[in-house]
Structures are given as C-alpha cells and as structure tokens.
Amino acid sequence: MNITEEDRKFMREAIRLANESVKNGGGPFGAVIVKDGSIVAGSSNRVTLDNDPTAHAEVNTIREACRKLGTFDLSGCIIYTSCKPCPMCLSAIYWAHIDRIYYGNTRKDANDINFADDFIYEELNKPLSERTIPILPLLRDEALQTFRLWTEKTDKTEY
C-alpha cells in the first residue's frame, strides 16, 4: 500500500493533537478519522483530564466521528493515530469497522515512556483462574433470558 502526501498530512494532524494534549495536561496521544479525503473527527487522550480510563485518543475520535456521521459503522473511514493502538482502542477500531489504521509511534516507543500494554496481552493469554483480576461466572441462566429476548426481537438493529 502506498503512503501518500495526504496520509502524511493526516498523520501530522494526529501528532499535532497529541502535542497539544501534552501542553494542556492530557496524555501524549492524538488521532483523526478521515472519510473521502476529509477529516471527520479528531481528538486526543483525555484520561486524566476527564478522569475516564477509556478516554483514549482513538476512542474519543471514534465517538466524535460516529456522532458527526450519525452511525455506529465507520466503514469507509481511515484512522491516523500518533501511536499504535492499545488493545482497547484496537478493539474499538474493529467494532467500528474502520478500514485502515496508520500509526506513528510503536508499542515499544510507548513502553519506553511508561505506557505499557504488554500486561493486557499477557492477561488475555492466561486461563481465567490465573488472571490478576478475578473473572467469575454468575447467574448465567438468568442472563441468557436477555439473549433470548434479543434473538426473538424482530425489529432489532444488528451490529
């Protein structure tokens, strides 16, 4: 896949948002979502500013793009992010059906400044009984009733 000057322009905007975030007290991450050659949304990391551990640049940008486009499906969009997405952000990108990811910094670069995601990847490879945070099944039979309701619903919006 060829990298274009337009790709570089969009990545520079993601990096600019990351720099601005650092200056304003946020985390060193920024992202933009592009559709049809135009920026739809752009945001930065606001974890500490919003007291929200999910307020990563990519998640914030996905939320903004979905609001602006009036959809939860970002097919046809590209995300440019100043750092390779963490597991949460990568999952959100997949759930949003974004077509392509461009990233600046690597996981190692992030690890070098004490933003390490490796512990999450390691946790996911462990059996449930060995994970740091206990994860226990509870009331499955009752919870399955909700899934039955969903299955039977004829006017649902699939996603």
Which residues are marked as active site?
Answer: 58
Question: What is the DSSP pairing of strand 100-105 with strand 77-83?
Answer: parallel
Angle between helices 57-69 and 5-23 (to 10 degrees): 120
Residue type, 123: E
